[in-house]
Amino acid sequence: MTVESTAARKPRRSSKRTGSSAGKAVADPQLVQLLTPEGQRVEHPDYDVDLTPEELRGLYRDMVLTRRFDAEATALQRQGELGLWASLLGQEAAQIGSGRALRDDDYVFPTYREHGVAWCRGVDPTNLLGMFRGVNHGGWDPNSNNFHLYTIVIGSQTLHATGYAMGVAKDGADSAVIAYFGDGASSQGDVAESFTFSAVYNAPVVFFCQNNQWAISEPTERQTRVPLYQRAQGYGFPGVRVDGNDVLACLAVTRSALERARRGEGPTLVEAFTYRMGAHTTSDDPTKYRADEEREAWEAKDPILRLKTYLENEGHADEAFFASLEEESETLGKRVREAVRAMPDPDRMAIFENIYADGHALVDEERAQFAAYQASFATESDGGFAAGEGK
Q: Which ranges in 134-235 belong to alpha helices (H)? A: 142-145, 156-171, 189-200
Site for another protein contains 222 (CB under 8 A)? yes
How far apart are alpha carbons 48 and 115 in whole angstroms?
25
- The region, left, alpha or beta by phi > 0 then psi within -120 to 50, assigned to residue 385 is alpha
Residue 222 vs residues 87, 218, 348, 360: alpha-carbon distances, Å = 22, 6, 43, 44
Site for ligand TPP contains 276 (CB under 6 A)? yes
162, 230, 274, 329: which one binds its own copies (CB under 8 A): 230
- For ligand TPP, the closer of residues 183 and 302 by Cβ is 183
The answer to whether 235 is a known catalytic residue is no
Min dist CB 382 to ligand TPP, Å, is: 42
Scan residues 16-55 and list those touching ligand TPP (CB under 6 A): none
The answer to whether 276 is a known catalytic residue is yes
Q: Which neighbouring-strand residues pair with 272? A: 210, 242
Catalytic residue among 280, 306, 310, 316: 280
Scan residues 160-199 and list those touching Mg ion (CB under 5 A): 182-183
- For another protein, the closer of residues 181 and 275 by Cβ is 181
Residue pair 152/181 in contact (Cβ under 8 Å)? The answer is no
Residue pair 263/237 in contact (Cβ under 8 Å)? The answer is no
Scan residues 231-250 and list those touching its own copies (CB under 8 A): 231-239
Site for another protein contains 162 (CB under 8 A)? yes
Min dist CB 321 to another protein, Å, is: 37
Scan residues 201-220 and list those touching ligand TPP (CB under 6 A): 212, 214-216
Angle (deg, nearest 10), helices 303-314 and 53-78: 150
* Strand order, beta sheet including 107-109: 107-109, 177-182, 205-211, 268-273, 239-243
The answer to whether 289 is a known catalytic residue is yes
DSSP strand pairing (214-215 vs 268-273):
unpaired
Min dist CB 298 to Mg ion, Å, is: 13
Amino acid making up residue 208: F
- Spatial CB neighbours of 287, under 8 Å, sequence gap ≥ 6: none
- For another protein, the closer of residues 114 and 243 by Cβ is 114
How far apart are alpha carbons 245 and 243 in whole angstroms?
5
- For another protein, the closer of residues 324 and 369 by Cβ is 369
Min dist CB 138 to ligand TPP, Å, is: 15
Site for ligand TPP contains 152 (CB under 6 A)? yes
Min dist CB 2 to ligand TPP, Å, is: 18
Catalytic residue among 276, 306, 310, 316: 276
121: partner contacted, choices ligand TPP, its own copies, Mg ion, none (Cβ within 5-8 A by kind): none
Residue 31 vs residues 101, 161, 179, 275: alpha-carbon distances, Å = 19, 25, 20, 14
Scan residues 22-81 and list those touching its own copies (CB under 8 A): 22-23
Q: Which neighbouring-strand residues pair with 205? A: 177
DSSP strand pairing (214-215 vs 218-219):
antiparallel
Tell me the three state secondary structure of residue 25.
Answer: coil
Amino acid making up residue 87: S
Nearest to 179 by CA among 194, 157, 198, 163: 157
- For its own copies, the closer of residues 136 and 233 by Cβ is 233
Scan residues 317-356 and list those touching another protein (CB under 8 A): 345-346, 348, 350-356
Min dist CB 159 to ligand TPP, Å, is: 13
- For ligand TPP, the closer of residues 33 and 111 by Cβ is 111
229: partner contacted, choices Mg ion, ligand TPP, another protein, none (Cβ within 5-8 A by kind): none
Amino acid making up residue 265: E
Residue 162 vs residues 246, 268, 285: alpha-carbon distances, Å = 27, 12, 34
Q: What residue ranges bind its own copies (CB under 8 A)?
A: 17-23, 186-193, 196, 199-200, 202, 221-226, 230-239, 266
Give the active site residues: 276, 280, 289
Q: What residue ranges bind ligand TPP (CB under 6 A)?
A: 111, 113, 152-154, 182-185, 212, 214-216, 276, 280
